[in-house]
Structure 1
Amino acid sequence: MGWPLDYRELTLERYYRSVGRRPLLACILPRLVPLVALLAAIYSWMVTPHTPAASTAEVMVRIGLVLAGSIGLVFAAVVFASLIIYGAGCRNGLPPNAREMLRGKLKGVTIVFSIVTRGDNPSLAARCARSVRYWVRRLEPVYGFRGIVEIVSDRDSEELRRLADRFVLVPAGYRTARGSLFKARALQYSVEARVRDGLVGDDTWIYHIDDDTIIG
């Protein structure tokens, strides 16, 4: 499978296997960058003369070499320490137990994926909603959360109603307390609608998405 990945024919495992740059980004670079910094630090100290400086310019050059070497050494030490403590797996840079960690945090959580649109281009919001639903269906059983696709629109649309678990139509006469307009107005109404429907709490998370976004 090439890049960019097509969310419509993608599974989680295929995603992990498909990113050709993953070994470079997650395995090689985390080790190569601090190694280069360490070698640069050693080289800076080696080329710094130990005899008295002949001029002010030479003093400044020597100070610069020492500073460069010190910074490189500190950088290398911090990165190497993080590699030792947290590891650098080759699974997109995530620790081996990343899935279990996420499952522990997401199990029992309700995530409302709220797509806000004016409604004048329903096909755009529909494409976004389909991509969200694709991933929600695949990740719900993996991580144990409950996903709700919510579409907040200024205009009614049968297509969007079919795609949404929650379709929130912003009334034409609705006004916020501060007279907010456009998206801010729709967002405020969606908040009030969720409070009214009891879709609030510590275990309810809201994920705001623009209607021109494709997840994946």
Structure 2
Amino acid sequence: MLSSRTKHILHCLLLLTVITVFEWCSGGVKLGDQINDLDPWERYGYVGCVVLYLLRLLAFLSLPQVMFNFIGLTIYNAFPDKVTLKGSPLLAPFLCIRIVTRGDYPQLVRDNVARNMAKCTDAGLENFIVEVVTDKSVGLSTHRRIREVIVPPLYRPKSGALFKARALQYCLEEGPNYLADTDWIVHLDEETLLTENSVRGILNFVLDGKHQFGQGLITYANEDVVNWVTTLADSFRVADDMGKLRLQFYMFHRPLFSMKGSYVVTQGWLTALAASGGVAGDLAIFNSRHHRSNTTRSIPATSSHSGDAGNK
């Protein structure tokens, strides 16, 4: 059985091999007789040559993200070992696992709520609740650790937030909100499934207390695939998570490029602050201008999506 370090070294070697072969086959790297002395200024003229060079320079716009992805995929272990708890779950602060949905797939929501609650219990988590925020009732069973919040159709937040941000804002209003500023919220989509490793990672993150904002890795196609095309398209986001996003959170503690809207862990006060971003918050609910230095970090654990984009 290969160790995680060996797997990561093989992964890096494969990545370098793929890049080298692609560069050679595409003509990016030319050796020996392949080198030619074509003068582009003479061949295409000054106007044509300038246009062609400008078009080629456009490729450099993605260079920062490409570099972050490459560095993140190589300097951080892509095959981490099983997460070990660094403290007792009994000492963990209160956790609210908040799932946001439109309520179009009630059976999916009910199944995933049951599975997520079971994973939390198996990981030893005691002080938690699973909360579903929905536009339409999904018929959740009555349980002391399950709460269903239905957003009124006529509700209009003062910030003018829409869609998912509107639902999250409703949870922060004086009536529906029951959380203290020191409580933690784990934001999930309706199709996101927790794993025992992700629960342990969240516990370690909140027990550590160094950061008030975290984001974890989400993997796809872990169960029955509904649509292979959308599944493969979603799988690209895993590499983005493991490269660019992990590097920006681990090294800079800031969302320099982007972040996901699911598997986001925040403290109550920070959530209330970020959700006040107004209409602009609909596209990025937690606006980067609200983040302070040294408050954001990647959570070293993985959650998964049930099925793929076909479930949405």
Per the normalisation by structure 2, the TM-score is: 0.36
The superposition leaves residues 78-101 of structure 1 with CA deviations (integer Å, 9 ceiling, x where unpaired) of: x8xx9xxxxx9xx9535xxx6341
Instruction: Say which of 126, 134, 141 aligns to 2:118.
Output: 134
Name the counterpart of 2:7. 29
The superposition leaves residues 109-161 of structure 1 with CA deviations (integer Å, 9 ceiling, x where unpaired) of: 111110111112211211221121111111135xxx5121101111123x225
Name the counterpart of 2:71. none
How far, CA to CA, are the matches of 1:105 and 1:132 in structure 2? 16
Query: What's the offset of the Cα at 1:177?
Result: 1.0
Query: What's the offset of the Cα at 1:108?
Result: 2.9
1:113 paired with 2:104, answer no
**Counterpart of 1:140 in 2: which secondary structure?**
coil
Instruction: Say which of 164, 170, 174 aligns to 1:183.
Output: 164
How far, CA to CA, are the matches of 1:126 and 1:213 in structure 2? 12
How far, CA to CA, are the matches of 1:194 and 1:135 in structure 2? 30
Name the counterpart of 2:192. 213
How far, CA to CA, are the matches of 1:119 and 1:190 in structure 2? 16
How far, CA to CA, are the matches of 1:121 and 1:33 in structure 2? 38
What is the RMSD of the two structures over their aligned residues, measured on CA atoms?
A: 3.6
Matched to 1:28, the amino acid is T
Name the counterpart of 1:39. none
The answer to whether the Cα contact below 8 Å between 1:26 and 1:93 also exists between their aligned partners in 2 is yes
Instruction: Flag the structure with higher helix content.
Output: 1
How far, CA to CA, are the matches of 2:167 and 2:12 in structure 1? 48
The answer to whether the Cα contact below 8 Å between 1:150 and 1:165 also exists between their aligned partners in 2 is yes
The answer to whether the Cα contact below 8 Å between 2:171 and 2:177 also exists between their aligned partners in 1 is no
TM-aligned CA distance change 1:193 to 1:135, over 3 Å: farther
The answer to whether the Cα contact below 8 Å between 1:113 and 1:147 also exists between their aligned partners in 2 is yes
Count of paired positions: 136
Instruction: Say which of 84, 87, 95 aligns to 1:99.
Output: 84
Identity rate of aligned residues, in percent? 31
Name the counterpart of 1:147. 128
The superposition leaves residues 58-85 of structure 1 with CA deviations (integer Å, 9 ceiling, x where unpaired) of: xxxxxxxxxxxxxxxxxxxxx8xx9xxx
**Counterpart of 1:208 in 2: which secondary structure?**
strand
The answer to whether the Cα contact below 8 Å between 2:113 and 2:130 also exists between their aligned partners in 1 is yes
How far, CA to CA, are the matches of 1:179 and 1:100 in structure 2? 41
**Counterpart of 1:123 in 2: which secondary structure?**
helix
TM-aligned CA distance change 1:139 to 1:153, over 3 Å: same
Matched to 2:84, the amino acid is R
Instruction: Say which of 101, 108, 115 aligns to 1:124.
Output: 108
How far, CA to CA, are the matches of 1:214 and 1:116 in structure 2? 13
Gaps of 5+ in 1: 1-22, 36-78, 83-87
**Counterpart of 2:104 in 1: which secondary structure?**
coil
The answer to whether the Cα contact below 8 Å between 2:89 and 2:124 also exists between their aligned partners in 1 is no
TM-aligned CA distance change 1:25 to 1:179, over 3 Å: farther
How far, CA to CA, are the matches of 2:151 and 2:12 in structure 1? 53
Matched to 1:180, the amino acid is A
Matched to 1:156, the amino acid is S
The superposition leaves residues 23-78 of structure 1 with CA deviations (integer Å, 9 ceiling, x where unpaired) of: 4351423577899xxxxxxxxxxxxxxxxxxxxxxxxxxxxxxxxxxxxxxxxxxx
TM-aligned CA distance change 1:135 to 1:201, over 3 Å: same
